Structure 1
Amino acid sequence: MSGGSHFLQIPGPTNVPDRVLRAISYPTIDHRGAEFADLGRAALDGLRSVVRTEGDVVLYPASGTGAWEAALVNTLSPGDRVLMFETGHFGTLWAGVAHDLGLEVTLVPGDWRSGPDPEELERRLREDTEHLIKAVAIVHNETSTGVTSRLPHLRAAMDRAHHPALLLVDTISSLGSVDYRHDEWGVDVTVGCSQKGLMLPPGLSFNAISPKAREAAHRASLNRSYWDWAPMLEAGTKGFFPYTPATNLLYGLKEAVAMLHEEGLDSVYARHRRHAEATRRAVGTWGFETQCRVPEEHSPVLTAVVMPDGQDADALRAAILSHFDISLGAGLSRLSGRVFRIGHLGSLNDAALLGTLAGVEAGLRVAGISHRSGGVTAALEYLADTATPS
């Protein structure tokens, strides 16, 4: 094994900053004591500030999949119809969770290269004159494809249709990396987790909840116990949880949110957009396509790169890991072996991104994959031309 640090450039879990690691290492405290109440309130308030909501937030020791389930079971009843979109691997998985819970899922087919079409959403809601559709569920950033859905346009489509459906949004890979506004965009339930833009290890997930969603929870009759919002909200008013919380991850969350605000959320989002553009310039110079085919939907979080015909993305990833100690994201389900994914989110600077792109370009050479050279130079020139003092 060569010296230096491993480059973890998958689209999450992301690199955990030293400040967050040190915070997580604080001694565990009594989760029913006054000191913990201060921590609990700070963690919930911090999440509100990143989600940009004045409303309720509940925080679970769980992966994002748990927050998916919580969003559904607290707002819906058996047989309710949910409109979902086949934007990629994770949009399809969320639809599977809804189906398993006994909901009637309408999954709008997709090409895995673009996000939900606002016009299609509006048309389907207008056709639903009996308001049988109780919720619309959208993945904000589809991690398998590198596509970011145009949420403000989708919200506007729902408003034009004058449809009362709830809007549920998965921000698992976007929160803390892509501009997001729960209240302003009229989102009813935001789903998120810790291990991506929030720069934490896996283990925390959450829902942000609108008043409309809280009202729906009083009528909803899907079975729920662990995921029930009611005891979470009651305990949360005092900074506590109805069960043993992930205390040390809450320390880390408090520190991570502080880091995001020190940089400034708008600056964080601009940094991610800039790194994404540099990455796409490298990919285009190499002569490859990105999986996302709609320019305004390119993800600031990751770039999914389509391999040339006859070439195996997993073999390339293995060569890059073996020779240059860089982990890249695999293609998922129908994209297995066809794409590799470069993560550029979380705690990342220009030098780390350039090192990653250099490893990819060198890996293409080692693997004998035909490409044009100069991708790293294209990214470097863009980053140098747009650099500002830190």
Structure 2
Amino acid sequence: MAATRRPGRNHLFVPGPTNIPDRVQRAMLVPSEDHRSVDFPALTKPLFEDTKKVYGSTDGTIFLFPASGTGIWESALTNTLCRGDKVLTSRYGQFSHLWIDMAQRIGLDVVVQEETWGTGADPQKIEEALRADTNHEIKAVMVVHNETATGVTSDIGAVRKAMDAAGHPALLFVDGVSSIGSLPFRMDEWKVDCAIAGSQKGLMLPAGLGVICVSPKALQASEGKAGRNDRLAHVYFAWEDHRKQNPAGYFPYTPSLPLLYGLREALACLFEEGLENVYHRHHVLGEATRQAVAAWGLKTCAKDPKWNSDTVTAIVVPEGVDAAQIIKHAFVRYNLALGAGLSQVAGKVFRIGHVGDLNELSLLGAIAGAEMAMNDCGLKVTPGSGVAAAANYLRENPLSKN
């Protein structure tokens, strides 16, 4: 039996993949072409420079891989480190956990600082660990900037200050998959060595294009591993192959042409809005969501306002309520896609993603749908309360700073 057609569009409010602007979708409808042609660099060479602006970098080097963010995690680690190298990281959500798991599986010695889920990286503890490492055995610090599982953003600037205060030469690797293109990111200012992004979040594209911005220090580290027998193996994600081809506008293997055209248009969208306006818009939408949560009488997973993420809000349901049922009901009944709780918070939270191509009315639709789904599933909140709180905030706080 054929599925019943649902009228209208699916309301996508997971923290990635995000909504794709119509103009970006149209830009990706391109015929196949020769990626070795003399015309191809006209598309690609500007991308390497323009993408750096989203990272807040002029000194970095951009590499574009046909991959998800997970592949770019691997690229950062394998190009710069050797088997048995020690890395320092914090675990405070599912994605920091998965990056730790990868580092361990590829042969690194991972020093894990456990933090409460709902908090983020602790700069003081990082500084203490680095000060204690007098032999400089720790080669890198890994931090997830925005942990979507819990709706938490860590302070990367404070992590950099801690590293500098310790006088430690470790590289700084940052997962910016759900922050870059949506939250302020200052790669050069924070002296980030590898910053990781995925196309399906703030860049408003389908998944499949992994982006990394690499500092001169990280490039030097990758060159220092050449020829060593203990270096971590990497072929598909090797930077050196891209460095040979990218300056002329080409790639070492077949790139995803539609995604490259989409990236060009997505960057145009961001620059036309203005990056500071993009960051402001995400903050306003994030705060409006938090106003709705407070009006419902619920709490966010973030333990303190300083941890609040402006790209996703994780909402804690009361004891005895199954958040997974609310998510399922919202999708089946109202065609609303909400984010699920992951790992330690599975069944305990549902998530509203407010990242990418969204405005006031888009967000209010998600809040209204969440209200209806909660009430339908026995979590009684006052109908209209969250919508009213968010709407009042949005009326008083325009999305644009101009």
Aligned-partner Cα distance in 2 for 1:26–1:236: 22
Q: Cα offset for 1:335?
A: 1.1
SS in 2 for 1:85: strand
Asked if structure 2 preserves the Cα contact closer than 8 Å seen for 1:56 and 1:233, the reply is no
Specify the alignment match of 1:238 in structure 2: 248
Specify the alignment match of 1:355 in structure 2: 365
Name which of 264, 275, 280 aligns with 1:270.
280
Q: Cα offset for 1:338?
A: 0.7
**1:6 is aligned to 2:38:** no
Aligned-partner Cα distance in 1 for 2:399–2:100: 43
Q: Cα offset for 1:387?
A: 2.6
Aligned-partner Cα distance in 2 for 1:75–1:285: 48
TM-score (norm 2): 0.95
Aligned-partner Cα distance in 1 for 2:250–2:6: 46
Q: Cα offset for 1:46?
A: 2.1
Q: Which runs of 4+ in 1 moved over 2 A?
A: 370-373, 387-390
Specify the alignment match of 1:27 in structure 2: 31
TM-score (norm 1): 0.98
Specify the alignment match of 1:381 in structure 2: 392
Q: Cα offset for 1:245?
A: 0.5
Aligned-partner Cα distance in 1 for 2:50–2:382: 45
Structure 2, gaps ≥5 residues long: 226-230
**1:370 is aligned to 2:380:** yes
RMSD of aligned Cα (Å): 1.1
- Identity value in percent: 46
**1:112 is aligned to 2:117:** yes
> What whole-Å deviation, never above 9, does each CA across 1:240-294 have from its counterpart, x for those lacking one?
1000001110000000000000000000000000000000010011011100112
Asked if structure 1 preserves the Cα contact closer than 8 Å seen for 2:281 and 2:399, the reply is no
Specify the alignment match of 1:102 in structure 2: 107
Q: Cα offset for 1:47?
A: 1.2
Q: Cα offset for 1:363?
A: 1.2
Amino acid at match of 2:201: K
Aligned-partner Cα distance in 2 for 1:37–1:388: 36
Q: Cα offset for 1:133?
A: 0.4
**1:17 is aligned to 2:28:** no
Q: Cα offset for 1:45?
A: 1.8
Q: Cα offset for 1:2?
A: 4.2
Specify the alignment match of 1:194 in structure 2: 199
Amino acid at match of 1:141: N
Specify the alignment match of 1:319 in structure 2: 329
Asked if structure 1 preserves the Cα contact closer than 8 Å seen for 2:280 and 2:399, the reply is no
> What whole-Å deviation, never above 9, does each CA across 1:69-128 have from its counterpart, x for those lacking one?
000000100000010110200001000110011000011111111111111111111011
Name which of 39, 63, 67 aligns with 1:62.
67
**1:43 is aligned to 2:47:** yes
Aligned-partner Cα distance in 2 for 1:388–1:82: 40
SS in 1 for 2:189: coil
Amino acid at match of 2:303: R
Specify the alignment match of 2:313 in structure 1: 303
SS in 2 for 1:19: helix
Q: Cα offset for 1:388?
A: 6.1
Between 166-175 and 212-221, the greater mean CA deviation after superposition: 212-221
Amino acid at match of 2:51: L
Specify the alignment match of 2:181 in structure 1: 176
Aligned-partner Cα distance in 2 for 1:348–1:334: 29
SS in 2 for 1:83: strand
Aligned-partner Cα distance in 2 for 1:101–1:2: 45
